[in-house]
Amino acid sequence: MIDQSRRRLLGGALALGLATLTSAVASSGSRLQVTGRWVTGNRRLAPPTLLDGQVLYAGDTTLGLLDPSRTQPLWSTPHALPGAAVFRPRGIADRVIAGSLRQLAAWRPGHDKALWRHVAKEQIGTPCLAGDSLYVGDGHELLAFAANSGTIRWRFAAVADTRISYAPVVAGETIFAGPGDGRLYALAASDGQTRWMVERMAEWQYLRQLQVSGEVLVAGGYKEKLYGLDLADGRQRWTFSAGNFINSQHVADGVAYLWSPTGWLYAIDTASGAVRWRHRTTDYRGGSASWASVMAELVTADGKLYALDLANVLHVLAVDSGEEIARVPLPEAVQPFVLPLPGGELLFGSRDGALFAGHLFSA
C-alpha cells in the first residue's frame, strides 16, 4: 500500500524549484506501425537482449536469435531448462547464457546442444557476464565461471540463509555484490578475495540492480532509497528517497531514471544525486493525463526515454527535459519489456509469446 502522507511530503519538498512536465494532449495522436513479427515457440518471454544488432531471446521453452531485417529467426532451440528462463539472456562473441531458477547453461549460437550446464545447489540469481567470466549467485554463494567451459574459478560465501538474487557488477578488476545480508562486498574479480565490505543492514538490507556510472555505484535499496556509493570504499556519496518502493532504476549517460508508485518518474544525476527533472505519471484523481502503473523497466535510446505502462501504453519522454513527446497505445496486450532496435524501431513481446517490431509515427 502506498504511504499517502509520505507521498505528500515528498511532493511538497521536491516542488521547490522543479517544474512538473506533462504534455499528453500534444502526444495523443502517435501510433505504432508494426513492421515485423516472429514466432518464438514460447508463451512467456524474459526481456530480450540486443547483441551486435541482433535480438537474443529466451522464454519458457526456447532460446533463439533473430535479425530484425529477416522474417525468420536465425536460430532457435529448446533450452531444456527445468523451468522458464527468468533473466535477460546474456551473450558475447560466440557464447550465449540463459538460465532458470534451477539451472544455468551456455550455448554456441546455431547449435542445439548446450556447451555446459550448472545445476543449482539452491537457486540461481541473475548473472553478470564480463568478458570470458560469468558471475552469478547460487543461494548465498557467488560463483565465478569460465564462460566458455563452465569451470568454476572461485566461490565466495556471503552470510548463510541469504540469497544473491540480483546481478553483481564489475568495474575494472573489482566485482561488487549486495546480497540480502545487509552488506556490500567489493571482491577481486580474479580470485574472489574481499577488498572491502560495508555493512548497513538497518538501512538497506540488500542492494539490487547495481550499476556503475563513472566513479559511482548506483544501487537500489530494499524499500524506497536509491544510493550513490563510492567505488573506492563504498562510502555514501548521496541518497535519494523516492517516497515509496522503487520499481527499478535505469542508468545511462550519467543519469539514473526511476519510477516510484507515488506517481513520479525521476531523472537523477549520478555524480551528485541531484534531481534533474521529474514527470508526474499518476495524480490519483483519474485525470486524462494519468498513466497506469509502469509495467516494464525503463530504457533509453537516441535521446528518448521509453516507459511502458500496465494499460499497454508506451510513453516516450525527452531525456534532457522529461517532457512527454509521445503517448502510444499499443495494438495488442504485451509482455513487460520494450527494446529499442537500430534504426529507431522498437521490439515488444505479445501475450501469446511472439515478438513484434514497429516504428512510431504521428497519426
- Model pLDDT, residue 248: 85
Q: In the beta sheet, which residues pair with residue 163?
A: none
Please determine, for residue 338, whether its predicted confidence score (pLDDT) is greater than 50: yes
Please determine, for residue 288, whether its predicted confidence score (pLDDT) is greater than 90: no
* High-pLDDT (> 70) share of the chain, %: 91
Q: Are 215 and 232 in contact (CB under 8 A)?
A: yes
- How many CA atoms does the CB half-sphere of 305 hold within 13 Å? 28
Please determine, for residue 26, whether its predicted confidence score (pLDDT) is greater than 60: no
- Model pLDDT, residue 22: 35
- Model pLDDT, residue 133: 95
Q: Are 247 and 258 in contact (CB under 8 A)?
A: yes
**Residues near 96 by Cβ (< 8 Å), separated by ≥ 6?**
56, 63, 65, 89, 90, 106, 107, 108, 109
- Model pLDDT, residue 192: 97
Please determine, for residue 12, whether its predicted confidence score (pLDDT) is greater than 80: no
Distances (CA, A) of 320 to 21, 71, 211: 12, 36, 21
Task: Report how far residue 68's alpha carbon sits from residue 128's, in angstroms, rounded to the nearest whole number.
Answer: 26
Task: Report how far residue 268's alpha carbon sits from residue 254's, in angstroms, rounded to the nearest whole number.
Answer: 9
DSSP code of residue 47: P
Please determine, for residue 314, whether its predicted confidence score (pLDDT) is greater than 50: yes
- Model pLDDT, residue 286: 67
How large is the average pLDDT for residues 85-93?
92
Task: Report how far residue 149's alpha carbon sits from residue 52's, in angstroms, rounded to the nearest whole number.
Answer: 23
* High-pLDDT (> 90) share of the chain, %: 78
Mean pLDDT of the chain: 90
Cell readout for 213 is: 556510472
Please determine, for residue 207, whether its predicted confidence score (pLDDT) is greater than 90: no
- Model pLDDT, residue 28: 57
**Residues near 138 by Cβ (< 8 Å), separated by ≥ 6?**
118, 120, 121, 122, 123, 124, 125, 164
All structural domains of the chain, each given as residue ranges with its CATH number in brackets, are 4-362 (2.130.10.10)
**Whole-structure pTM value:** 0.90
Please determine, for residue 19, whether its predicted confidence score (pLDDT) is greater than 60: no
Please determine, for residue 349, whether its predicted confidence score (pLDDT) is greater than 90: yes
Segment 221-279, tens digit of pLDDT: 887 899 999 999 999 999 999 988 887 899 999 999 999 988 999 999 999 999 999 99
Segment 129-168, tens digit of pLDDT: 999 999 999 999 999 999 999 999 999 999 888 889 999 9
Q: Are 63 and 85 in contact (CB under 8 A)?
A: yes
